[in-house]
Structure 1
Amino acid sequence: MKIIVAGLPKTGTKTMNAALTLLGFEVYDWLENFWYFGDEWKKQIRQGCKIYDLRQMYENVDVVMDTPCDEYWQEIWEAFPDVKVILTTRDDKSWFRSLWQHFDQARSDFVNRLISALTYSGLKAQQHFIMTHGRFVSVGSWPLFRIKTHNEESLCRMKSKHERQVKKVVPKKQLLVYHVKDGWGPLCDFLNVAVPITPFPHKNKGASLMVEWRKENPIMQRLQKELIVTLVCLFAFLTFGIFLAFM
């Protein structure tokens, strides 16, 4: 473990993911945390985080970010006390607006809703989402999984409290408070790496995460394939049922 990105979702974490990946780090974001450690996180959250287990989970991973790692960043930091911590941040109003747009897109994304409702892995992902995003939203039951964002005032208070705690706990030499608009300079200085020739990335503009994930993320692509197989099986089953009904 080398880096914990302790910033909350919608503070530029997907841009940070892309930037750290370009710098050669292996990043575990929300999908990776679910896909590879979903069962472990279910146990950790329900039974209480154990430092030894977190060390076993992430000892060979370079970077962790997003839920549930941003909520349990301090426990992860206690498991890896020598790592660097990046606190991504942005102003409260634009953060809440981006957060609302993100969940609004999740509500309206038809493919995502089909994956969540009709596939085994998608259903597990949705359960993991419900378990790890309770700070931000309330989610209805299967098969609709209606999402309702919590109110702006309470969420902004939670964000401020979270950021104060990170700044209080992490020694200054290990902490970078970072705005993604600042680009490569402060990030590369903090990590002691050369500034790449590649332009600094900007991801998830206008809450475009679902579209970007389906194009780029191998885990999301596997979930889409699972949806296709499910739909084909359902179509075959219905066709066979209709055939039998008219025999």
Structure 2
Amino acid sequence: MKVIVAGFFKTGTKSMTAALTKLGYKVYDFLEHFWYHYDEWNEILVRGGSIEMFKRMYKDVDAVADVPAFAFWEQIHEAYPDAKIILLTRDEDSWYRSLLCQVEELNEWNMFRFARIFTPTGRKFMKHFIKCFAACFGCITPPAWQHTTFSETLSKKGFRQHNFYVSQKAPKDKLLIFKMQDGWEPLCKFLGVDVPNTPFPHKNVRGSAIKEAAENQVMQKIIQEMKMLFVCVSFAVIFIACVLAYNLTQ
């Protein structure tokens, strides 16, 4: 473990993940945490984690970002004390607007609303999603078929408290406070690497991470399960129709 991205979600975590990947780091973001370490994070969120657990989870990973890792940056740093810490920040009001935009896109994604009820991976993913966000701050945890909502007061309070705590508690010689508009220079200087000859990544614009994640193995598995469900339902409907038609002819 070389880098811990301690910034709250919606502060540019997807862009930072892309930037670190461009610099050659193996990064685990939200979907990787779910895919590779669902059981471990489920235990951590309920009972708490240990240094040994985090060492096992991320021994072959260069960097972590996003939910739920950012909320456990301190414990991960205890497991990897040489790791550098990046605190992503942005204006509080624009952060909350961005959060609402992300939630709106998630709520309006009809395929996923269906999948999170009727597919095994979708239900597992939604359970993980709700548990992660509820553990991080004021997320109102709805049933799978209802919209996800957030408390503005609790959200902003959690955002503010987290940023202050990281800025005060992280070792100053290992901490970089970073905004997306800062670009490559301060990041590469902090990490001790060369500046790429490409523009700094800008991901998840206006909550587009859901569409950008469509090729991820988690979403691909959900899509495959949706197709299998459609096939099964189609066969069931055809079978029932055939039985009814046969009975009517008798």
The TM-score bracket by the shorter chain reads over 0.9
Residue 85 (structure 2) pairs with residue 85 (structure 1): yes
Q: Which amino acid aligns with 2:151?
A: H
Question: Which position in structure 2 is the counterpart of 1:96?
Answer: 96
Determine which of 139, 142, 145 is the counterpart of 1:140: 142
Structure-2 residue corresponding to 1:34: 34
Query: What letter corresponds to residue 231 of structure 2 in structure 1?
Result: V
Q: Deviations over 1:121-159 (max 9, x none)?
A: 1110000001001124223213x13211112x3222211
CA RMSD of aligned residues (A): 1.3
| Contact residue 101 and residue 207 of structure 1 kept, 8 A | yes
Structure 1's unaligned 5+ residue stretches are none
TM-score w.r.t. structure 1 length?
0.94
Match of 1:229 in 2: 228
Match of 1:149 in 2: 150
Which amino acid is the alignment partner of residue 205 of structure 1? V
TM-score, normalised by the number of residues in structure 2 = 0.93
Residue of structure 1 in register with 2:200 after alignment: 200
> How many residues in Structure 1 have an aligned counterpart in Structure 2?
244
User: 1 CA distance for matches of 2:237 and 2:89?
Assistant: 50
Query: 2: distance between equivalents of 1:145 and 1:19?
Result: 35
Cα drift, residue 67 of structure 1: 0.9
1: CA distance, partners of 2:239 / 2:138: 44
Letter in structure 1 aligned against 2:106:
A
SS at match of 1:70: helix
Aligned residues of 1:139 and 1:146 also touching (Cα < 8 A): no
- Structure 2 gap segments, 5+ residues each: none
Confirm or deny: 8 A CA contact 1:4 1:64 kept in the other structure. yes
Map of 1:108-187 to 2, 5 A cutoff? 108-134=108-134, 135-142=137-144, 144-151=145-152, 153-187=153-187
Amino acid at match of 1:24: G
Which stretch of the first structure deviates more once superposed, 46-55 or 224-233? 224-233
Q: Does structure 2 retain, via aligned residues, the 8 Å contact 1:68–1:132?
A: yes
Where does 1:200-219 land on structure 2 (aligned, <5 Å)?
200-214=200-214, 216-219=215-218
Partners of 1:28 and 1:145 lie apart in 2 by 29
- Aligned to 2:189, the other structure's residue is in SS state helix
Q: Is the 8 A contact 2:138 2:154 kept in 1?
A: no
- Looking at structure 1, the residues matched to 186 and 229 of structure 2 have their Cα atoms a distance apart, in angstroms, of 46
Distance in 1 between residues matched to 2:95 and 2:10, nearest whole Å: 6
Change (3 A) 1:244 1:139: farther
TM superposition shift of 1:27: 0.9
CA distance in 2, matches of 1:175, 1:81: 12
Query: Could you report, residue by residue, the CA deviation over 1:87-134 in whole angstroms, capped at 9, with x for unpaired residues?
Result: 011010000000011111111111221221221011100000010011
Q: Is the 8 A contact 2:52 2:79 kept in 1?
A: yes
Kept after mapping to 2: 8 A contact 1:139/1:145: no
Identity fraction in percent: 39
- Residue of structure 2 in register with 1:49 after alignment: 49
